[in-house]
Amino acid sequence: MAEKISFTINGQPRSVEVEPDMMLIEVIRDVLDLTGTKHGCDNATCGTCMVILNGRAVKSCNTVITKAAGAEITTVEGLSKGMELHPVQTAIAESGAVQCGFCTPGIVIELVAMLDSKPNASEQELTNALNKHLCRCTGYEPIRDGALIAQKVVQEHAVAKA
Amino acid sequence: MEYKYVGKSYIRPDAISKVTGKAVYLDDIRLPGMLHAAILRPQYAHAKILSIDTSEAEKCPGVVKVVTGKGCKFHYGDNIRDLVPMADEKVHYIGEPVAAVVADTPKHAKDALSKIQVSYDPLPVYIDARQAMSEDAVIIHEDMEQYWTLPTLKVVPGTNIANVYQVRKGRAADGFDEAEVVLEGEFNYPFGSCAAIEPHGSIVWFKEDKTIEVWSSSICPFIVRDDLANSYGVPASDVRVHIPDIGGCFGYKSDITVEQTIAWIASFVPGRPVKWVSSREEDFTSTLIGHGIRTQMKIGAKKDGKLVALQVKVLHSSGAYADTGVNVTMAATHNSTGPYEFDHCELTGYTVYTNTTPVGAFRGYGHQEVHLAIERMMDMLARKLKMDPFALRSKNYLHEGSVNALGEHMWKFNGDVAAAAARVQEVVFGHDKPREDDTYYYGRGFAAVMKSPKGAPFSTKGCYMKMNTDGSVNINMGGAEVGQGLRTVVRQIAAEALKIAPEKVRVYTELDTQFSPYEWQTIGSMFTMQGGRAIVRAADKMIAVLKNTAAQVLKTDADYLEYDGEYVYLKADPYIKVAVTELARGYITENGITIGDLAQAVSDARLPRYAAPDKNGQGPLGVTYTFGAQGAEIRIEKKTGKILVDHFASVFDVGQVINPLQIRGSVLGGVNIGIGAALYEEVIFDENGKITNPQYFQYHVPTYKEMPKQTIEFLETPDPIGAFGARGIGEHSVLGPAPAILNAIYDATGVDFCEIPVTPEKMKKALEALKEYA
């Protein structure tokens, strides 16, 4: 039976009617029309469906919608402020990490979740995070380059704020 | 050469839309009244369909229509019309569409599938070409002799052989008589999947005004358009095909793949758009897979290492339909020489029907497969001749003055494979190899590579160009952006040709057969070459329009004028000039009377003299090749048999680098795909024709932690065809990894593998056998 579930997504409170067995990705893409979150596989392997749920990057294709009740969710659409991109978005765009772009939203979300909470993440931590994502185009090297550039910018922002 | 905009790195025009999640891919499209389809696949890979009962499925919630293949009498295809949109009396492979449900939601459509009852009478299943070619094999396509084919194709009646392609240069028998050393080998490049992160999908809408509108994750909107027009008896101009952003292709979104099936389904609910997006499993089972090529090779050489004769048999398990596989077999066959000259060639390729998913292009059209054979054979032959493998190769490289298997003369401007090889030798073999230790064996391997173009003689790329009154330019072409970065290439070549800043060039986004210029399909590493030439031609025409208008304004002759991007001026006195912004829509004189033409141009470009094969299988392919060399440094873990690629080097002679950042990215990714094929990837069919690993967690695509350190360099011997000297590079980087890594495995352990992927289990087993033997 359909239930009403409320959460905040990209800063906006939303209440939606859902079937309780629906996955978060279906609600994000098909109910809320936020199509930036991509569907690449059906079993949480490729990582392109990642969103930030209560500060943690999670795969929305295997997150049951009921887990989103009362949560704060950020999708790739929620990262830029108007024309101003998140430093991760800028770094990934400029490092050559974008080819077909289909894995890109998941990778951007992963890095934002990691660097916003842990600007000094070690290279091993970044490697472990990025290893959750499949990319068929880039050979990963430009993604690593973009991650390291983004980290530097995020760290500088943190210093500037402090 | 130094250019102003070519040869520099610019950020892709689509980078921002992709990092913000705003790029629109097929599954992101929503249309009013859209319905959703789900497709039933068979339980057997080869069977007669006895009956289909759809009555229970029709009663399921949300179901609008249940569709079967009954009554579908047309076949389709671009090379061999052997395809059907949905099985009718028989299924030929495990991924074939048998029936479909159209419903209000994807979930309702999927839920109803299990209510469709189908009974089958199973037939024998052939996975491998050798089984399907056996004398007592059941015929998979009983009516294959009736299929329309391209006139150059040769079906073998009464067999499962869809086509035999033969290349004859010189006389192989004489060559082998002349040879002092003969070496034979057999190499297998098994089935693989392009496995792009975006699965295939289509939307088809049969409209009440008898037009058809289509959206698809395809790189060939014009093939889709013409094919649907032919099947449904409407003018091609009444079929409109849109191509949104594409999330990776690597080959399997070329040719017509899923569109005819979705059109067949949609034709039962006219007036409503029908969307279908494949699951990851269906992307493996029911689109196109790659490879499936076994290469039997015999080389004859002189004692001093001079190659004289090559005999090759390419056995291609091409799958249940051969329309897309036949070009792969042919390119594999005539490129099986690798980058070497043989005076005598007898090369035969068999495209064979099997009960597997149809094979299509996979980054290199057969080149990966035969390079595994020729480049392993060169190392083995060097051993037999007791020669240095680099010396053996350099003695035989195609170079200025040599003639390739197709009878094409090679010139200096075709590129320098010897120089590329020398550079890879330096960076991979120029230092001492680590010594074997308790944990690892260490090895190094090499491969030289060559790739021919692949297309059709009529294959051309169109370009529409228009200048606006502020001097900015819009360019519209038919090339599909799959991630390879062609929009950046268009922008940079146009900027260079028009002498304006790249920021003033806006490149098209989606393709739409209603607006886009014609392009056959964006395949074969041809866009930068052919498309680039088309841009230069359009730019020249548009500049001529500007000059003709300026000639009237400046009251002189057009050939006295020069153009510099900002002004058209008199060469003899550059003070006499008119701004291009005043010429773009014709020149408006003082009293408003306007003279001259709109600044716009149309052009296209084919490869010069690209021909169909003659009776010897020869015929020029546009005389453009990209040569290169690749090398691997590996470690093999003794305990597990796991192979780690520590360093991989690639050097290609690309004529002219257009964008250093992008070309490096292309090679980085291509090498990764090649390493995947060498070590991890195989689409595995069981004896019943079922794919046992149709998911990413089962089919091992290389991961972040598996990326090697890469050295990537380019030589620039300018090409006379491509714009500013540039040649193709899209597919080439995938050709060398498998042979280079297998040669490195031999170097490390003395084990000769002739088949990929070399998984840890296979490696470990070989090491254990080696120990027992010692």
Q: Looking at the structure, tell me whether residues B487 and B392 fall in a common domain.
A: no
Q: What's residue B623's pLDDT? A: 67
CB–CB contact B705 A46 (8 Å):
no
Preferred mutation among B197, B362, B663, B695 to probe A, highest tally of A CBs within 10 A: B197
Counting Cα atoms < 13 Å in the Cβ hemisphere of B110 gives 9
Q: Give a yes or no: residue B695 inside a domain.
A: yes
The beta-carbon neighbor of A138 closest among B665, B695, B703 is B665
Which of chain B's residues have a Cβ under 8 Å away from the Cβ of A75?
21
Same domain? B655 vs B744: yes
Are A85 and B482 in contact (CB < 8 Å)?
no
Is there a contact between B272 and B290 (Cβ–Cβ < 8 Å)? no
* A128 and A91 fall within a common domain: yes
The CATH code of the domain that includes B215 is 3.90.1170.50
Burial class (CB in 10 A: 0-12, 13-18, 19+), B369: buried
Cα–Cα distance list, B654 to B550, B660, B717, B770 (Å): 38, 12, 7, 42
SS3 of chain B: helix, strand, coil, percent, to 5: 30, 25, 45
Does B220 map to a domain? yes
One domain, residues A56 and A117: no
What is the structure's pLDDT at B343? 97
Shortest CA distance from A123: residue in chain B: B705
Give the span between the Cα atoms of B709 and B646, in whole angstroms: 6
Domain assignment present for residue B264? The answer is yes
Does B301 fall in a domain? no
User: Does any domain span residue B337?
Assistant: no
> Which CA distances in Å does B301 have to A148, B182, B343, B754?
52, 6, 11, 21
One domain for residues B271 and B413: no
What's the predicted TM-score (pTM) here?
A: 0.97
User: What residues of B are in contact with residue A92 (Cβ under 8 Å)?
Assistant: 19
Contact A85 B250 (CB under 8 A): no
**CA-nearest residue of chain B to A131?**
B704
Mutate to test the interface with B, among A19, A99, A112 (most CBs of B within 10 A): A99
Tally of domains within chain B:
3
Low-confidence ranges of chain B (pLDDT < 50): none
Which residues sit opposite B629 in a β-bridge?
B448, B651
Q: Please check whether residues B490 and B567 belong to one and the same domain.
A: yes
Nearest to A76 among B21, B249, B484 (CB): B21
Q: Is residue B59 part of a domain?
A: yes
Domain encompassing residue B499: 460-605
- B587 CA to centre of own chain: 45
Whichever domain contains A128, its CATH number is 1.10.150.120
Residues in A closer than 8 angstroms to B482, CB to CB, are: 100
The DSSP call for residue B244 is -
A100 to B482: CB separation less than 8 angstroms, yes or no: yes
A39 at interface of B, judged by CB pairs closer than 8 A? yes
Which of A35, A93, A130 lies closest to B16 in CB terms?
A93
**Distance (Å, whole) CA B723 – CA B315:** 37
**B594 and B624 belong to one structural domain:** no
| Residue among B541, B585, B530 at smallest CA distance from B563 | B541
Tell whether B88 and B234 lie within a shared domain. Answer: yes
The CA distance from B58 to B602, in Å, is 51
Task: Kindly indicate whether the ipTM for this predicted assembly is greater than 0.85, answering yes or no.
Answer: yes
A35 vs B482: CA distance, rounded Å: 19
φ, ψ for residue A45, nearest 5 deg: -105, -35
In one-letter notation, the amino acid at residue B123 is L
- Same domain, residue pair B597 and B624: no
> A-chain residues within 8 Å CB-CB of B21?
34-37, 75-77, 105
Please list every residue in chain B whose beta carbon sits closer than 8 Å to the beta carbon of residue A143: 704
User: Domain count of chain A?
Assistant: 2
Cα separation, B538 vs B532, in Å, equals 10
Of B570, B605, B640, the position where a domain reaches its end is B605
Does residue A159 register a pLDDT over 90? no
- CA nearest B245 in A: which residue? A100
Q: Final residue of a domain: which of A33, A49, A78? A: A78
Same domain, B620 and B755: yes
The dihedral through the CA atoms of B390, B395, B396, B400 has a sign that is positive
Residue in chain B lying closest to A137 (CA)? B669
Q: What is the CATH number of the domain that holds A30?
A: 3.10.20.30
Q: What is the mean pLDDT of residues A26-42?
A: 97
CATH of the domain at B538: 3.30.365.10
For residue B56, what are its two tokens?
């229970």
A73 and A9 within one domain? yes
Asked if B695 and A42 come within 8 Å (Cβ–Cβ), the reply is yes
Q: Which residues of B touch A139 (CB under 8 A)?
A: 665, 668-672, 707, 710
> Is B172 inside a domain boundary?
no
Each residue of A77-113: pLDDT tens digit?
999 999 999 999 999 999 999 999 999 999 999 999 9
Q: For residue B710, list chain A residues with Cβ-Cβ distance below 8 A.
A: 139, 141
Task: Answer yes or no: do A45 and A103 share one domain.
Answer: no
| Domain final residue, candidates A47, A78, A109 | A78
**Count of CB contacts below 8 A, A vs B?**
161
Interface of A with B in 67-96 (CB under 8 A): 75-77, 79-80, 85, 89-90, 92-94, 96
Choose from A136, A138, A153 for mutation: most chain B CBs within 10 A.
Answer: A136
pLDDT for position B766: 97
Residues of B in Cβ contact (< 8 Å) with A79:
20
Q: Is residue B184 part of a domain?
A: no
Decide if A38 and B247 are in contact by the 8 Å CB cutoff.
Answer: yes
DSSP secondary structure letters along B81-111:
--B-SS-SSEE-STT---EEEEESSHHHHHH
A65 and A104 housed in the same domain: no
Domain identity same for A97 and A144: yes
Task: State which residues form the domain around A102.
Answer: 87-161
Residues A109 and A127 in one domain: yes
Half-sphere exposure at residue B544, Cβ-oriented, CA atoms within 13 angstroms = 8
- Chain B residues lying within 8 Å of A108, measured CB to CB: 19
Distance CA B177, CA B651 (A): 36
**Residue B667: closest CA among B701, B628, B622, B609:** B628
Shared domain check, B206 and B59:
yes
Statement to judge: residues B675 and B631 lie in one domain: yes
Question: Is the domain of A38 the same as that of A67?
Answer: yes
Task: Indicate whether B101 and B237 sit together in one domain.
Answer: yes
Q: Do residue B58 and residue B207 come from a single domain?
A: yes
Which of B605, B631, B649 is at the close of a domain? B605
Total count of residues recorded for chain A: 162
> A102 vs B15: CB contact, 8 Å cut-off?
no
Out of A101, A141, A142, name the one closest to residue B23 (CB).
A101
In B, minimum Cα distance to A129 occurs at B704
Domain-ending residue, one of A35, A50, A78: A78
Contact B15 A98 (CB under 8 A): yes
Chain A (119-148) residues lying within 8 Å, Cβ to Cβ, of chain B: 127, 130-131, 133-144
- Closest partner residue to A139 (CB to CB) among B250, B281, B669 is B669
**Chain B residues lying within 8 Å of A34, measured CB to CB:** 21
Interface residue of A17, A38, A62, A100 to substitute, partner B, most B CBs within 10 Å: A100
Cα of B299 vs its chain's centroid, Å: 28
According to DSSP, the β-strands at B201-206 and B307-319 are unpaired
User: Nearest CB to A96: which of B199, B662, B671?
Assistant: B662
The pLDDT value recorded for residue A162 is 76
Asked whether the beta carbons of B325 and B383 are under 8 A apart, the reply is: no
CB-neighbour burial class of residue A159 (10 A; exposed 0-12, middle 13-18, buried 19+) = exposed
Query: What is the H or E stretch that residue B385 is in?
Result: helix B367-385
Mutation test of the interface with chain A: which of B703, B704, B706, choosing the one with the most A Cβ atoms within 10 A? B704
> How many angstroms separate the CA atoms of B100 and B113, rounded?
7
Residue of A43, A98, A136 with shortest CB distance to B197: A136
- pLDDT of the residue at A155: 94
Q: A93 with A37, same domain?
A: no
Query: Nearest Cα to B198, choosing from A63, A38, A140?
Result: A38
Predicted pLDDT at B438: 97
* B429-437 contacts at long range (C-beta below 8 A, 24 or more positions apart): B429/B631, B433/B633, B433/B747, B434/B635
Distance from C-alpha of B109 to C-alpha of B128, rounded to nearest angstrom: 34
Could you tell me what percent of chain B has a pLDDT over 90? 95
Residues A48 and A98 reside in one and the same domain: no
Structure letter (DSSP) for residue B528: I
Residues of chain A contacting B671 with CB distance shorter than 8 Å: 139
DSSP alpha helix (H) spans, chain A: 24-26, 87-94, 104-117, 123-130, 141-161
